[in-house]
């Protein structure tokens, strides 16, 4: 009991930092159509800007995690949250697209700095139940990310985009408080890592057929989620929905995905891992098909279908991560970087081309529908996933 009380303080501040950090990472998608309109840029270029955010917030995490494991200081969580809060809050007010890109890159790098060290500090300061504390940490980030669109849409709707920089004060305040409240750790508490060969680790991972399949599935699921979260706000803006309505829709989409992440491990025990994968890969197609038939005539139903899409797409993510890390447990952090980082980075590069096609031909919904068919077609890999050996 004493240990549990001692660990509550750092866990509270780390989880709070995760919640606040991920609010900032979720603010751009719902208001980007209105930012694009203000600075007179195309949907393709606006999506490219969002892609920069995803690339720099995800693809470098395995490398920052490597350095975080070797550090004897807590610097990354402080500077990471400060960069995220300041630069992502000021980005929507920029009248120059290139300055906006710079701010988004710096803010996204802040998020990329915060996550790996915070993830490493959660078990470091856990003396009782590591799994429980890690679950709470991930849950707070999911909640923050889903609230981001709602917060930014509300500010943009009722106060105006020019008031967005005011958001930065919460993140800066929390970072300064973490500096005081998160304990320093001694040299003995630092994990002494053996000499580590990145080349060998990447080779071992990419040569493993089972991991290759999981990475491909992760990329397909990331593509599905990203195409919805980036393209649908432009569709709704063209249909003259308000900023707050778009923000609420994005909140429901992301929050439903968070609920799915909580439920999937429990459901897996009842229906089996294979069926969790099948549900997550096949069901988006008919749901998006129903959305395509209702978004013009029955908007409330179509919004509910968007939320259901978010739920189904994210349903297999925890199960997929757990399976991947069990294959090569010596590379847990890097495998996590591949599933959650590399996959998003690849999709961020692809999505600019996808948005250009959707923008040029004014076919956002057909493009999303086509994208939803890809995981369904590739669901045959699930069977192969459970017949492949680990090497």
DSSP state of 127: S
**b (16+ CB within 10 A) / e for 346-373:** bbbebbbebbbebbeeeebbebbbbbbe
Average pLDDT, the chain: 84
Q: Are 43 and 358 spatial neighbours (Cβ–Cβ below 8 Å)? A: yes
| Separation of alpha carbons 391 and 373, rounded Å | 29
From first to last of the 391 residues of the chain, give the pLDDT tens digit: 434 555 677 788 888 999 999 999 989 988 999 999 888 888 888 888 888 887 888 777 767 766 666 666 777 889 999 999 999 999 999 889 899 999 999 999 999 888 777 877 776 776 666 656 766 777 788 788 889 999 999 999 999 989 999 999 999 999 999 888 777 765 444 444 445 566 777 788 778 888 889 889 989 988 998 899 889 999 999 999 999 999 999 999 988 988 887 788 778 888 988 999 999 999 999 999 999 999 999 999 999 999 999 999 988 877 787 787 678 776 666 666 677 667 777 887 888 889 889 988 889 999 999 999 999 999 999 888 887 555 4
Per-residue pLDDT tens over the stretch 300-355: 999 999 999 999 998 887 778 778 767 877 666 666 667 766 777 788 788 888 98
First to last CA, the chain: 44
- pLDDT reported for residue 192: 47
Within 13 Å and on the Cβ side, how many CA atoms surround 329? 1
Q: pTM of whole model > 0.85?
A: no
Nearest to 347 by CA among 57, 19, 153, 20: 57
Nearest to 150 by CA among 54, 21, 18, 23: 23
Both tokens assigned to 383: 């069977």
- pLDDT reported for residue 3: 46
Within 13 Å and on the Cβ side, how many CA atoms surround 165? 8
């Amino acid at each position: 009991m004493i240990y549990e009380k001692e660990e509550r303080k750092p866990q509270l501040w780390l989880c709070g930092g995760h919640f606040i950090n991920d609010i900032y990472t979720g603010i751009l998608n719902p208001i980007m159509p209105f930012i694009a309109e203000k600075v007179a840029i195309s949907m393709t270029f606006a999506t490219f800007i969002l892609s920069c955010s995803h690339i720099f917030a995800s693809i470098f995490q395995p490398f920052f995690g490597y350095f975080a494991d070797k550090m004897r200081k807590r610097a990354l969580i402080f500077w990471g949250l400060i960069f995220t809060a300041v630069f992502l809050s000021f980005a929507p007010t920029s009248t120059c697209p290139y300055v906006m890109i710079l701010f988004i890159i710096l803010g996204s790098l802040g998020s990329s700095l915060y996550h790996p060290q915070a993830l490493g500090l959660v078990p470091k300061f856990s003396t009782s139940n590591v799994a429980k504390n890690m679950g709470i940490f991930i849950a707070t980030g999911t909640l923050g990310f889903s609230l981001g669109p709602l917060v930014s849409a509300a500010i943009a709707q009722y106060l105006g985009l020019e008031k967005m920089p005011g958001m930065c004060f919460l993140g800066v305040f929390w970072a300064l408080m973490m500096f005081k409240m998160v304990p320093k750790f001694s040299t003995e508490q630092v994990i002494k890592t053996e000499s580590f060969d990145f080349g060998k680790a990447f080779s071992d991972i990419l040569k493993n057929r089972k991991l290759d399949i999981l990475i491909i599935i992760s990329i397909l699921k990331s593509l599905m989620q990203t195409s919805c979260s980036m393209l649908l706000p432009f569709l709704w803006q063209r249909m003259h929905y308000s900023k707050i309505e778009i923000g609420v829709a994005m909140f429901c989409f992301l929050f439903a995905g968070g609920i799915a992440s909580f439920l999937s491990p429990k459901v897996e025990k009842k229906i089996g891992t294979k069926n969790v994968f099948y549900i997550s890969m096949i069901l988006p197609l008919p749901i998006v098909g129903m959305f395509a038939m209702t978004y013009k005539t029955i908007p409330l139903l179509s919004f509910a279908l968007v939320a259901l899409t978010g739920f189904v797409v994210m349903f297999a993510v925890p199960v997929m991560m757990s399976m991947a890390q069990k294959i090569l447990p010596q590379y847990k952090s890097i495998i996590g970087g591949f599933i959650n980082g590399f996959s998003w980075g690849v999709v961020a590069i692809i999505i600019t081309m996808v948005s250009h096609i959707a923008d040029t031909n004014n076919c956002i919904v057909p493009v999303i529908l086509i994208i939803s068919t890809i995981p369904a077609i590739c669901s045959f890999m699930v069977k192969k996933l459970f017949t492949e050996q680990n090497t």
